[in-house]
A and B are shown apart, each in its own frame.
Chain A
Amino acid sequence: MDMLICVFCFVFFPPPVSHSQITRLYSRFTSLDKGENGTLSREDFQRIPELAINPLGDRIINAFFPEGEDQVNFRGFMRTLAHFRPIEDNEKSKDQNGPEPLNSRSNKLHFAFRLYDLDKDDKISRDELLQVLRMMVGVNISDEQLGSIADRTIQEADQDGDSAISFAEFVKVLEKVDVEQKMSIRFLH
């Protein structure tokens, strides 16, 4: 177990994240794993009441599971959570030669983009935006109103005229938003 933790330390969480934080998350992983087989299924996530009442709960759960799979192991669990590590100041001026860390601004935005992009074609179409909006508002807004909201959003963001939002356009719209802070989770210890 310790060896595994060490591997994670270096691969996903370079030195600023402590050994104890990873141990804590492993403890969390095992407490969610009711079947005790070292992997989590979608039902294990849905058992968390506060996640079940989140309107986008299902989309978030989906983000943990790679294409076509029904189980996620601890490695995959940590990989997804790694997107939410806060960006430390000393990392901003790192060299650009290494692979981009999972918690970079661009990767955080990509995570949010994937929540909208239901069919994973790197474009948010009008239909996809409508579906996600419907998840967020439930039955409280009519179809026409929702449709006009979706149209307006795409109109404002779309620059190459294909009536869909690509990742680059998504990044442009959100360039002023404080993504680093809003998509980061801090440990207490």
Chain B
Amino acid sequence: MFLLLPFDSLVVNLLGISLTVLFTLLLVFIIVPAIFGVSFGIRKVYMKTLLKIFQWATLRIERGAKEKNHPLYKPYVNGIIAKEPTSLEEEIKEIRRSGSGKALDTPEFELSDIFYFCRKGIETIMDDEVTKRFSAEELESWNLLSRTNYNFQYISLRLTVLWGLGMLIRYCFLLPLRIALAFTGISLLVTGTTVVGYLPNGRCKEFLSKHVHLMCYRICVRALTAIITYHDRENRPRNGGICVANHTSPIDVIILASDGYYAMGSLRPCAHIPCCVQLASKFGLGHRAPRVSGHCFASTALGFAVHGRAEHFLSLVGQIHGGLMGVIQRAMVKACPHVWFERSEVRDRHLVAKRLTEHVQDKSKLPILIFPEGTCINNTSVMMFKKGSFEIGATVYPVAIKYDPQFGDAFWNSSKYGMVTYLLRMMTSWAIVCSVWYLPPMTRQPEEDAVQFANRVKSAIARQGGLVDLLWDGGLKREKVKDTFKEEQQKLYSKMIVGNHEDRSRS
């Protein structure tokens, strides 16, 4: 037993030294650059190395499949069946044309008309445009994560070893590092904003609060190993404007906020949860924390989505520790200007619109960040923009965010994963790589209404990001489609059988 003693102290010493070294490295290479906004370029090198490894892995799988003479399962993003882009009238006319030699101009009913509806229906059962936007995009080449592999049986021994090594690195090295960073970032945020919150209102307070926020977002960005490329930064949103972007995950907020200053929408707290009251009083804040609510509460209650940080934190509150996120939010709110909404007001679109209009008219206020889709879409398309934020009349600064799913898919499938599982998946992927394009500002033209303006902005964002521009509502993730669309189809078809209202008499 006595012989072990010197070894014990040796082990303890070694552990102490390695921890100190680790933390110094952490400080020097990650946190200090984050504070000052510089970068050593380590992440770019990391990305390039990973790409080479992925290409090699894909080649090996293809070779393995060829040896066994089996076809490889390859996902196709552009659909699996051939669809004609013809309209209802054209299709039915064509069916009738082949059926009879009668004049096609007279509106009438034919038994063969049913073929159109039948085929259209079966086509949508085999492959439709909407439901595939609510699940993660399938990758064409493998990225050494078991969650994206569809061809398990073709992995050779070398590849398995590589995969195992990758898993070791991700779970045993990257994950603890990232969690430590995230922890540091959030604690700095809470302490920094609490301190700044006690300062008297003025330019000094504003300056400090902006920089505290920026610094902490940068640390969070590094905590996720997010490699972001910003394009056209001269178009960044200015005061008194509204910034709209396509929505893929809660990380979007961190990505945008680490490169600019935004005002967030927040819900005023009402009820409380016992544990967070204790935490709050412990931190000396003396407030009640926001109530637990379901995800996207604000976005469905509002006519449009004010998807500020608060909304996510409210949903986080429901899913992790009741009080922690509330504490964070309280601290942030004290330090920076917010647009406040009462719980009751949130359900009234006009009140919300009025509040936002007041905010944008004050040119000294920071731009508001809004996600008009109202829900997370899987980053292959942009869905309908709700018109509320486009009615306000402020300058709109569109931003397109496109993630590269090769290194880690950032899409949050909220019906499948809770917030904690999602964050864990993010932190155990290789990296989050994305491009952000700041598009030139747009204003509503006099001859267009809010819906047309919203569609124009949506097309611009879709074009820049290389996404499919869809007219469908993102809310279809959870709700049923409205009957008005079916009625439109029925109306179109009835025109084909009886023509317009004047043509009534038929034999």
Contacts and interface: CB of A to CB of B under 8 A. Distances in A.
Contact of B124 (A54, A133, A137, A157): A54
A70 B57 CA distance: 44
B472 interface: yes
Contact of B490 (A136, A165, A185): A136
Chain B: number of interface residues, binned into ranges: 35 or more
Nearest to A64: B125
Contacts of A31: 131-132, 135
Contacts of A56: 114, 117-118, 121
B76 interface: yes
B205 to A, nearest CB: 49
A12 interface: no
Contacts of B493: 55, 136-137
A176 B110 CA distance: 13
B109 interface: yes
B81 A183 contact: no
A118 interface: no
Contacts of B498: 141, 145, 149
A65 interface: no
A52 B480 contact: yes
Contacts of B100: 176
Interface in B28-51: none
A182 B124 CA distance: 15
Contacts of B108: 149
B109 A48 contact: no
A188 B507 CA distance: 45
Interface string B376-414: 000000000000000000000000000000000000000
Contact of A50 (B128, B497, B504): B128
B414 to A, nearest CB: 14
A8 interface: no
A131 interface: no
Interface string B67-94: 0001101101011111000000000000
B124 A51 contact: yes
B487 interface: yes
Interface string B468-507: 0000100010001100011111110110011000001011
Contacts of B485: 53
A55 B79 CA distance: 24
Contacts of A13: none
Contacts of B70: 19
A173 B119 contact: no
Interface of A is mostly: helix
A60 B481 CA distance: 18
B413 to A, nearest CB: 12
Interface residues of A, number: 59
Nearest to A2: B153
B126 interface: yes
B111 interface: yes
Contacts of A20: 71, 73-74
Given A141-B494, A187-B80, A48 B130 contact: yes
B364 interface: no
Given A31-B131, A136-B493, A157-B111, A177 B486 contact: no
Contacts of A176: 98-100
Contacts of A140: 490-491, 494
**A148, A170, A187 — most chain B CB neighbours (10 Å):** A187
A187 B83 CA distance: 9
A152 B337 CA distance: 71
Contacts of A76: none
A116 B491 CA distance: 20
A168 interface: no
Given A20-B71, A60-B118, A185 B76 contact: no
B229 interface: no
Given A20-B73, A49-B472, A28 B126 contact: yes
A57 B121 contact: yes
A47 B109 contact: no
**A56, A116, A170 — most chain B CB neighbours (10 Å):** A56
Nearest to B73: A23
Given A49-B131, A55-B490, 8 more contacts: A19-B71, A49-B476, A50-B120, A60-B122, A136-B117, A153-B111, A177-B115, A183-B115
16 contacts: A28-B127, A48-B130, A49-B130, A51-B124, A54-B121, A54-B486, A56-B114, A116-B111, A136-B114, A137-B493, A141-B494, A183-B119, A185-B119, A185-B122, A187-B81, A188-B79
Task: Pick the 3 closest A-B CB pairs, nearest first.
Answer: A138-B490, A140-B494, A177-B99
